[in-house]
Amino acid sequence: MSDLSNAEKDPADWTTGDEPATGAQESYLHTLAGEAHEDVPDGLTKAEASLKIDELQEKTGRGK
Tell me: the pLDDT tens digits for 11-39? Answer: 778 788 799 999 999 999 999 999 999 99
pLDDT at 7: 53
Please give the DSSP secondary-structure letter assigned to residue 21. Answer: P
CB 47 within 8 A of CB 12: yes
Nearest to 47 by CA among 39, 55, 59, 37: 55
Cα–Cα distance for residue pair 32/2, rounded to 1 Å = 26
Q: Are 32 and 56 in contact (CB under 8 A)?
A: yes
